[in-house]
Amino acid sequence: MPNRRLSVAPMMDYTDRHARYLLRLISRHTLLYTEMVTAAAVVHGDTARLLAFDAAEHPVALQLGGADAGEMARAARIGAEVGYDEINLNIGCPSDRVQSGRFGACLMAEPDTVAQCVRAMRAETEVPVTVKTRIGIDHQDSYEALRAFVDTVAAAGCETFVIHARKAWLQGLSPKQNREIPPLDYPRVHRLKRDYPELEIIINGGIRSLAEAERELGHVDGVMIGRAVFDDLWLLAEADRRLYAATDALPTRREVLQAYVEYCERELARGTRMPHLTRHLMGLVQGLPGARRFRRHMSEDARRPDAGPGLLLDAWDELEAELPTTPSGMCALAAEGEFRAG
């Protein structure tokens, strides 16, 4: 059973296997999610490619989208067989494409369909089946409606709900607007936890720091963070110590990059292209002087035909060399515990 105190949200175009590998180098314990994959693609598509992940990524959850119980069950079984630690069902995405397939957030209006999916998935696999959803959709946005949804889906065997603490408007707002415009309502999620102490309730939406995550853990069982992690990957650096009581030494950014370089070498040998590997590094230097130049190396230079993984450490060393030094002569990263003697 994965520990869900902290997780990184499933995000299309972000949480691919390279990003997950990189995040795992920063935090050993944070639960990671894949991008959403449709159950149909898992069952009928190039499963090996779609579901590939590195053993180092554990604990890692597969997020599925779909509404056909039989297909969802087959996809869940395949996901569990290839080794995912959890199968999550996406009932929160409001995009038109997803709605036209009749899944995602619009399924909040069909709790019985979600329950059938959960029941069928649970029958096919031993790994936990969880649901990620919103606090409501359209005019179905009362607390009672949320409770009715949770009652029906929990009765089918779902013990963990990830709740994005804002509703979604299925018409008129883009997916991006639906992540910004409907207001966050954390108290509603806290109330859900109070009313269902036996369920595991994970809060999501707008959480920007570990301090906020710690505060939320006073109300719910776990916190899921999405955008803030990709804006600033280093947000996760202290997660193991602060949220999992780990005592391992904090990694430095250079150590993370060094390990990622080794991963990149293996990936390049398998035919992965450099920009697919470097694009996730933008958030590693958030807030540091020289970040813009580092990012340019990662986006423009990585496209050059002769670009190799050495580029990563060269760009970092260039940034580090230009960091202002403190009066005692240590570079500015000393303040973050990144100064290393010698």
Residues 6+ apart with CB under 8 A from 222: 4, 5, 6, 7, 200, 201, 202, 203
Shortest reach from residue 134's CB to ligand FMN, in Å: 9
Shortest reach from residue 322's CB to ligand FMN, in Å: 31
Smaller CB distance to ligand FMN: residue 110 or 255? 110
176-235 positions binding ligand FMN, by CB under 6 A: 179, 204-207, 225-228
Measured in whole angstroms, how far is the alpha carbon of residue 180 from the centre of its chain?
18
Residue written as token pair 């790994």: 127
Q: Which of 309, 330, 328 is nearest to 320 (CA)?
A: 330
The helix or strand, by DSSP H or E, that contains position 212, with its residue range, turns out to be: helix 210-216
139-178 positions binding ligand FMN, by CB under 6 A: 164
Regarding 119 and contact with ligand FMN (CB under 6 A), the answer is: no
Which region among 6-14, 54-62, 188-196, 282-290 touches ligand FMN (by CB under 6 A)?
A: 6-14
Smaller CB distance to ligand FMN: residue 37 or 257? 37
In this structure, what DSSP letter does residue 128 have? Answer: -
264-303 positions binding ligand FMN, by CB under 6 A: none
Shortest reach from residue 165's CB to ligand FMN, in Å: 9
In a 3-state reduction of DSSP, which class is residue 125?
coil
Smaller CB distance to ligand FMN: residue 232 or 301? 232
Rg (Cα) of the chain, in Å, rounded?
21
- Measured from the Cβ of residue 70, the count of other Cβ atoms closer than 10 Å reads 14
Q: Which of 200, 30, 182 is nearest to 128 (CA)?
A: 200
Select the residue interacting with ligand FMN from 2, 5, 6, 10 (CB under 6 A). Answer: 10
197 vs 167: CA distance, rounded Å: 23
Shortest reach from residue 53's CB to ligand FMN, in Å: 16
Smaller CB distance to ligand FMN: residue 19 or 285? 19
Tokens of 114: 């979600």
57-86 positions binding ligand FMN, by CB under 6 A: 63
- Under the rule (CB under 6 A), what is the footprint of ligand FMN? 9-14, 35-36, 63, 90, 92-93, 132, 164, 179, 204-207, 225-228
